[in-house]
């Protein structure tokens, strides 16, 4: 018999769950030190303190110690797959670090199914607007149900402890290694063959993907009559933690301060209208912001096809565009939401309401110039 001293034993999970939970239906997510801030935001925005059956499985000791000390319901999923270095930084998709974390995610679900627990797995970029379990109880006849993206979304699944679901998760883990694919692709691949597992999709009007939610919610004042029916919103179809936080802030869901609304002594640049030639416009705008050495109020853009809004936040262009632009301006920006927040600097709000509008242009050398020391710009005219 092989003994792996750096791995968790199934009896350890069983003992923890029996000692802390009276139910056999668990709400879970996974986390590590590098994702701790996003997890804490998820916990607060979704009011997870209301759910006595929630636990976060933490993949590293430092992350576990941090969250446990702060009183979060966590369990250390001891493993020898993820290094502390990998666990201590935010992970980009399609990297070896992300791959290892997704393998561990399936291992957690596999172990819980083996122990006969029903599992609601949620990524930490999900927001719950109301308790999902009453609605999910209508689907217990299936091996699992999932949020609908283009296909199955592995970031929001309600899985029953059946032989078929256990086999699916186990084989999906193997497929990840065999084909070097991520967990969601592995699950989709497994379910392509009919009869293997009995599953269905959750209604998209209640359990919304980031794409579906963004069709009617780009900014904080975007509302529609069907909002009362929404149970969850998954902030996917956008990549990078910085992008996700920006989109939540524009949507009015994330309003933390921590100095965010403090006045920048150097001033601001506000672009009212971003031209349709996004690539050129972003490059010109980045040059302008960096040369003026001011904080940019992120612009609005024309909405993509299918989004019924007047203007959209810049995450709607593509899933990484916003992050790349943030990096170009050295992350010196504020979401447009600041203009509707009373905590914003009074001088900024006054300029936005009554201040003059200036224009900028491109010189023959390719560098932008501004006729006056502008706070606000109205677009780009090329010469």
Please identify, among 202, 235, 262, the residue that sits at the C-terminal boundary of a domain: 202
d(CA 134, CA 16): 26
Least-confidence region, from 85-94, 234-243, 364-373: 364-373
Same domain for 288 and 253:
yes
Within a domain: 346: yes
Same domain for 290 and 164:
no
The predicted pLDDT at position 116 comes to 97
d(CA 124, CA 235): 9
Same domain for 339 and 272:
yes
The predicted pLDDT at position 365 comes to 56
Same domain for 237 and 163:
no
CATH number reported for the structural domain that contains residue 44 in this entry: 3.90.550.10
Residue 228 has pLDDT above 50, yes or no: yes
State the pLDDT confidence band at 10, using cuts at 50, 70 and 90. Answer: very high
State the pLDDT confidence band at 361, using cuts at 50, 70 and 90. Answer: low
Percent of the chain residues topping a pLDDT of 70: 90
Which value, to the nearest 10 degrees, does the dihedral of the CA atoms of residues 254, 257, 262, 268 take? -10
Within a domain: 24: yes
Within a domain: 1: no
As a whole number, mean pLDDT of residues 369-378 equals 43
Residue 279 has pLDDT above 90, yes or no: no
Within a domain: 187: yes
Same domain for 239 and 188:
no
Least-confidence region, from 22-36, 114-128, 198-212, 352-366: 352-366
Within a domain: 5: no
Residue 254 has pLDDT above 60, yes or no: yes
Residue 216 has pLDDT above 60, yes or no: yes
Same domain for 197 and 275:
no
3-class secondary structure per residue, 26-55: EEEEEECHHHHHHHHHHHHHCCHHHCCCEE
Within a domain: 369: yes
The predicted pLDDT at position 302 comes to 84
The predicted pLDDT at position 364 comes to 52
Residue 130 has pLDDT above 70, yes or no: yes
Q: Taking a C-beta distance cutoff of 8 angstroms, is the pair 196, 190 a contact? A: yes
Same domain for 70 and 171:
yes
Within a domain: 3: no
d(CA 234, CA 13): 28
Same domain for 81 and 137:
yes
Name the token pair of 335. Answer: 């979401």
pLDDT in tens, 298-351: 988 888 888 878 888 988 888 888 888 999 999 999 999 999 899 999 888 888
- Estimate the share of the chain in helix, then strand, then coil, as percent rounded to the nearest 5: 40, 20, 40
State the pLDDT confidence band at 280, using cuts at 50, 70 and 90. Answer: confident
3-class secondary structure per residue, 284-327: HHHHHHHHHCCEEECCCECCCCCCCCCCECHHHCCCCHHHHHHH
d(CA 12, CA 234): 31
Better-predicted residue by pLDDT, 146 or 266: 146
Most confident range, picked from 118-122, 215-219, 249-253, 277-281: 118-122
pLDDT in tens, 148-183: 999 999 999 999 999 999 999 999 999 999 999 999
252 φψ region: left (φ > 0), alpha (ψ -120 to 50), beta (else): left
Name the token pair of 109. Answer: 């679900």
Same domain for 98 and 149:
yes
pLDDT in tens, 40-51: 999 999 999 999
Same domain for 366 and 345:
yes
Within a domain: 229: yes
Same domain for 196 and 132:
yes
State the pLDDT confidence band at 241, using cuts at 50, 70 and 90. Answer: confident
Please identify, among 158, 183, 202, the residue that sits at the C-terminal boundary of a domain: 202
Most confident range, picked from 162-166, 215-219, 363-367: 162-166
Collapsing DSSP states into helix, strand and coil, what is residue 343? coil
Please identify, among 174, 202, 230, the residue that sits at the C-terminal boundary of a domain: 202
Instruction: Count up the domains in the chain and report the number.
Output: 2
**Residue-range definition of the domain harbouring residue 356:** 212-378
Same domain for 147 and 14:
yes
């Amino acid at each position: 018999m092989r003994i792996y001293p750096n791995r968790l034993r199934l009896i350890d999970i069983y003992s923890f769950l029996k000692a802390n939970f009276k139910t056999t239906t668990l709400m879970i997510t996974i986390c590590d030190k590098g994702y701790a801030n996003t997890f804490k935001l998820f916990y607060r925005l979704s009011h997870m303190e209301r759910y006595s059956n929630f636990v976060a499985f933490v993949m590293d000791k430092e992350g576990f110690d941090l969250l446990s000390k702060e009183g979060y319901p966590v369990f250390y999923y001891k493993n020898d797959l993820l290094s502390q270095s990998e666990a201590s930084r935010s992970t980009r998709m399609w990297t070896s670090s992300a791959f290892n974390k997704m393998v561990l995610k399936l291992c957690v679900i596999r172990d819980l199914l083996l122990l006969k627990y029903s599992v609601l797995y949620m990524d930490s970029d999900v927001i719950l607007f109301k308790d999902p379990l009453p609605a999910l109880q209508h689907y217990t006849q299936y091996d699992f149900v999932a949020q609908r993206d283009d296909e199955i979304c592995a970031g929001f699944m309600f899985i029953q402890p059946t032989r078929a679901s256990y086999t699916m998760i186990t084989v999906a883990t193997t497929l990840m290694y065999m084909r070097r694919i991520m967990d969601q692709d592995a699950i989709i691949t497994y379910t392509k063959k009919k009869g293997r597992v009995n599953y269905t999709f959750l209604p998209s009007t209640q359990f919304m993907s980031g794409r579906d939610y963004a069709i009617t919610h780009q900014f904080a004042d975007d509302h529609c009559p069907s909002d009362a029916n929404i149970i969850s919103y998954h902030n996917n179809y956008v990549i990078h933690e910085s992008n996700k936080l920006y989109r939540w802030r524009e949507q009015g869901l994330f309003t933390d301060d921590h100095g965010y609304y403090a006045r920048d002594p150097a001033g601001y640049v506000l672009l009212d209208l971003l031209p349709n030639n996004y690539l050129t416009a972003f490059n010109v705008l980045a040059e302008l912001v960096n040369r003026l050495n001011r904080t940019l109020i992120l612009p609005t853009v024309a909405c993509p096809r299918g989004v019924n809004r007047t203007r959209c936040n810049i995450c709607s262009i593509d899933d990484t565009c916003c992050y790349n632009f943030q990096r170009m301006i050295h992350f010196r920006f504020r979401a447009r939401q600041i203009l509707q927040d009373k905590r914003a600097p009074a001088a900024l709000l006054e300029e936005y309401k009554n201040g003059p509008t200036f224009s900028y242009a491109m010189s023959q050398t390719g560098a932008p110039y501004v006729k006056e020391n502008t706070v606000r710009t109205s677009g780009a005219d090329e010469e």
